Amino acid sequence: MIRQVPTIPIGRDASLSRPVSYRLIALDPLSAARRGVLDTPHGSFETPAFMPVGTQATVKGVVPDLLRQVGSTMILANTYHLALRPGAEVVQSLGGLHRFMGWSGPILTDSGGFQAFSMADRVTLTERGVAFKSHLDGSLLDLTPERAVEIQEALGADVAMCLDQCPALPASKEVIAEAVARTIRWAERCKNAQTRPDQALFGIVQGGSHEDLRGECAEALIAMDFSGYAVGGVSVGEGREEVRKALDVTTHKLPTEKPRYLMGVGRPQDILDAVATGIDMFDCVLPTRNGRNATCLTARGNVKLRNASHKTDSGPIEEGCDCPACLKFSRGYIRHLFLAGEMLGPILASLHNLAYMHRLMREIREAISEARFVRYRAEALEALGSETVQ
Amino acid sequence: MIRQVPTIPIGRDASLSRPVSYRLIALDPLSAARRGVLDTPHGSFETPAFMPVGTQATVKGVVPDLLRQVGSTMILANTYHLALRPGAEVVQSLGGLHRFMGWSGPILTDSGGFQAFSMADRVTLTERGVAFKSHLDGSLLDLTPERAVEIQEALGADVAMCLDQCPALPASKEVIAEAVARTIRWAERCKNAQTRPDQALFGIVQGGSHEDLRGECAEALIAMDFSGYAVGGVSVGEGREEVRKALDVTTHKLPTEKPRYLMGVGRPQDILDAVATGIDMFDCVLPTRNGRNATCLTARGNVKLRNASHKTDSGPIEEGCDCPACLKFSRGYIRHLFLAGEMLGPILASLHNLAYMHRLMREIREAISEARFVRYRAEALEALGSETVQ
């Protein structure tokens, strides 16, 4: 049974034009999985969708034309890295992020908070914000909710994220509760700091795997009426079960008519789990990072291209794949490129991995429309195996 | 005055079908510059032409589709590197070099001798050939004229090169004379070793800047009737004047109806000089090596993209250039990529540099057809300046 759902007016005030809006297309009858369309100032695309990560305003090794060719729609760039180098004002003076990196499609930027905590030196957290030393040149920097919005407005992505506090896990419930309270206060400050009518702002739900805390955080953010909601703090070192638990108590609390984004999650298995709870958007460095390490994603698990078994293998990375790497090159050749230290190895493996991710998402969307997502998910997980290495 | 020259039958025996043949299109009236077409089993292209170097069966950082897009026609791969890794038999088992590297256009391979001398350890030169230790794993290898042909036949390029002896300069005339004599004897052995009717073999003229030695070498090789002739030993550390001198005493001795290839030369200034003597083909790592180092070639000299002056420069690497880098990206962005250590920096700079080289060659061809090559050359050299850095 395919359920076609009519377009739903977005937000509390449907008369207010929004830079980003979500339309539901289909709901899976046996899970909370949903298919939709996200409209942005730089084009529309279908969800569930995977966003490649272009940390420093480039998806590593992939020219924008090829990125589009493998199926990328919206991509992500990291505010922390770009604010440090080349600086948000440099990006702005060169026409903003889209013009700067030659990507005319939708872009999302994170707030920079997560990287400030994980990469910078001497991080000091106060109610005001995060103070830290740049990991690049040791300069002292200050990231407040207001500054996070200001930087992201200068970068000019279609979607900006609120500055949140994401406690490192495991953490006591008390610590998580404090992070939730601060995340809510900062979200309010971010919202008040917004000046660009053409940029959407998403709130981030924290709360670990505590249903009450997640609920409290979601409720407070929903009252502020963001353009979309992210589930944060679920890709910080915990296992697959913890991720599932956090999602089980969170996703269903988010408004149906807004896009839902699970930050930093990109393992195919985790994506299949998260879609079942109703998540629409994902991002992760996994396809390109694995690609640079000669590990290729396929529907039947990972393929390690450096293995000697591929030396004279004339087959493609993945049979049936229509990506630029699989259409033209053999495993034997790409293995040679990696052993010879040639840039083209990481380039081709990254292209394939991105194509794989986008194919996975397309299959997920089709399965949802055809009301067979639960079966598709079970079969896909079975085929993926537990990190099979070919 | 445009002189259109009719197709000239190739070789001593025009009835013998040849894998590679040259047709003259136009001669410059004021110099020995000439425009022609080289027909190969993998397509035809116009000369004078520049061949990008794909040392390890990949032009560093450039996918074949983009290589074609920037105007590449014939490319070069290095036998020494490929024989060592992955091995000629691996390339052969994966369908030969064209299939292996996904390049359906013409390919030329060198003999491996030059790299054996310059890169390997413990090189021993005898009449039989060159024995050396692999720079990769220390294994002992043996490169004879027969083996050089055998490896290149396994690789399967359109054009193979004879194994020659290229003495390091400066060298006494006596040493150069010995190298010439050996080069001639080895050329004969290479010719006798040939078994593939679909692969052309070029002879290499040695002799330093000695007119008599160059003449003697050319004469002996011409008598063996190769499909084309290369001028060797002119890019081994000597200055521009020495290169010109060697060409002045060599190129005019080569048969008009065969292609002429100047090995390893790629500086725009040197190419402009060499074309004036009648050279048709060039190869060099310069565009991609410079590209990886953020140095861009332009008609007005080199542009160093790391310079702070480009920080907020919204202009392209070269005004008016239609390469994928210049059409979409600013100097400021590409500078950012280099400073951030992103692969896309070398990729874009290499693409531009290759596009520049192919544009230079196209302008040279047009100037020859329009009988204004000498003026074009003077203007181009003037604009290039003496290594202007912007």
Q: Which of A86, A100, A311 is nearest residue B90 as measured by Cβ atoms?
A: A311
What CATH number does residue A126 fall under? 3.20.20.105
Query: Are residues A247 and A298 both part of a single domain?
Result: no
CB atoms within 10 A of CB B205: 32
B262 shares its domain with B335: no
Q: Rounded to whole angstroms, how far apart are CA atoms B93 and A310?
A: 12
The residue annotated as part of the active site, out of B121, B198, B283, B313, is: B283
What residues in A contact B329, CB-CB < 8 Å?
102
Rounded Cα distance between A196 and A180, Å, is: 26
Question: How high is the pLDDT of residue B117?
Answer: 86
Question: Do A184 and A103 have their domain in common?
Answer: yes
Question: Catalytic site residue A283?
Answer: yes
Is A135 a member of any domain?
yes
Q: From B97, which residue of chain A is nearest by alpha-carbon distance?
A: A333
Lowest-pLDDT range of A252-266, A358-372, B112-126: B112-126
In angstroms, the CA B348 to CA A63 distance is 8
Q: How confident is the model at residue A169 (pLDDT cuts 50, 70, 90)?
A: confident
**What is the least distance, in Å, from the CA of B82 to any CA of chain A?**
10
Q: Does residue B1 fall inside a structural domain?
A: no
pLDDT at B1 over 50: no
Residue B386's pLDDT band (cuts 50, 70, 90): low
From the list A164, A280, A283, A313, the catalytic residue is A283
Residues of chain B in contact with residue A329, where contact means CB-CB under 8 angstroms, are 102
Phi, psi of A269 (to 5 degrees): -60, -45
On whether residue B255 sits in a domain, the answer given is: yes
The pLDDT score that the predictor gives to residue A22 is: 98
Across the interface, whether the CB atoms of A343 and B343 are under 8 A apart is answered yes
Q: Which two tokens stand for residue A183?
A: 């995340």
CA-based nearest distance B102→chain A, Å? 6
| Best to test chain B binding among A55, A70, A342 (most B CBs inside 10 Å) | A342
Contact flag B61-A344 (C-beta cutoff 8 Å): yes
Cβ atoms of A229 and A219 closer than 8 Å: no
Contact A208, A195 (CB under 8 A): no
Identified catalytic residue from A110, A158, A273, A280: A110
For residue B7, is it within any domain? Answer: no
Among B229, B264, B284, give the residue marking a domain's end. B284
A-B interface: how many C-beta pairs under 8 angstroms? 115
Cβ proximity of A283 and A55 under 8 Å: no
> Tens digits of per-residue pLDDT, B238-248?
677 888 888 99
Structure confidence by residue, pLDDT tens digits, A249-262 = 999 999 999 999 99
Same structural domain for residues A67 and A184?
Answer: yes
Residue B16 domain-assigned? no
Is the pLDDT at A73 greater than 60? The verdict is: yes
pLDDT of B68 above 70: yes
Residues B201 and B93 in one domain: yes
Give the pLDDT confidence score for residue B17 in this predicted structure: 61
| Three-state DSSP string of chain B | CCCECCCCCCCCCCCCCCCCEEEEEEECCCCCCEEEEEEECCEEEEECEEEEECCCCCCCCCCHHHHHHCCCCCEEECHHHHHHCCCHHHHHHCCHHHHHHCCCCCEEECCCHHHHHHHCEEEEECCCCEEEECCCCCCEEEECHHHHHHHHHHHCCCEEECCCCCCCCCCCHHHHHHHHHHHHHHHHHHHHHCCCCCCEEEEEECCCCCHHHHHHHHHHHHHCCCCEEEECCCCCCCCHHHHHHHHHCCHHHCCCCCCEEECCCCCHHHHHHHHHHCCCEEEECHHHHHHHCCEECCCCCEEECCCHHHCCCCCCCCCCCCCHHHHHCCHHHHHHHHHCCCCHHHHHHHHHHHHHHHHHHHHHHHHHHCCCHHHHHHHHHHHHCCCCEC
Examine residue B5 and state whether it is found in any structural domain, yes or no. no
Number of structural domains (chain A) is 2
Same domain, A241 and A384: no
How far is CA A39 from its chain centroid? Answer: 17
Contacts of A63 in chain B (CB under 8 A): 66, 324, 344, 347-348
| Residues near A96 by beta carbon (within 8 Å), at least 6 away in sequence | A154, A155, A156
Helix axes of A331-339 and A344-369: crossing angle, nearest 10 degrees: 130
In a domain, A13, yes or no: no
Residues A50, A61: one domain? Answer: yes
For residue B207, being part of any structural domain is answered with: yes
- Residues in chain B with CB shorter than 8 Å from the CB of A355 are none
Range of the domain at A390: 287-390
What is the mean predicted confidence (pLDDT) over B323-338? Answer: 98
With an 8 Å Cβ cutoff, the interface of chain B facing chain A consists of 56-58, 60-66, 81, 85-86, 90, 93-95, 100-102, 311-312, 314, 324, 328-330, 332-333, 335-337, 339-340, 342-344, 346-348
B283 is catalytic: yes
Q: How far apart are CA B27 and CA B49, in angstroms?
A: 15
| CB contacts, 8 Å: B344 with chain A | 58, 60-63
CA-wise closest residue to A261 among A372, A115, A110, A156: A110
CB contact under 8 A, B90 and A348: no
The chain-wide mean pLDDT, for chain A, equals 93
Is pLDDT at B13 greater than 50 in this prediction? no
A308: nearest CA partner in chain B: B86
Domain boundary among A215, A249, A284: A284
In angstroms, the CA A154 to CA B314 distance is 16
Residue that finishes a domain, picked among B260, B284, B308: B284
A261/A331 same-domain check = no
Q: Which residues of A touch B324 (CB under 8 A)?
A: 63, 65
Q: Same structural domain for residues A246 and A363?
A: no
Interface-testing mutation among B69, B343, B352, with chain A (most A C-beta atoms within 10 A)? B343
Let me know whether B198 and B291 are in one domain: no
Phi, then psi, of B22 in degrees rounded to 5: -115, 135
Mean pLDDT (chain B, rounded): 93
Write the pLDDT tens digit of every residue in A118-133: 888 889 999 999 999 9
Alpha carbons A302 and A321: distance in angstroms, whole number: 14
Of B341, B348, B343, B330, whose CA–CA distance to B288 is shortest? B348
Residue B262 shares a structural domain with residue B322: no
Give the percent of chain A with pLDDT over 90.
86
Comparing alpha-carbon positions, the chain B residue that sits nearest to A326 is B102
Q: Both A78 and A187 in a single domain?
A: yes
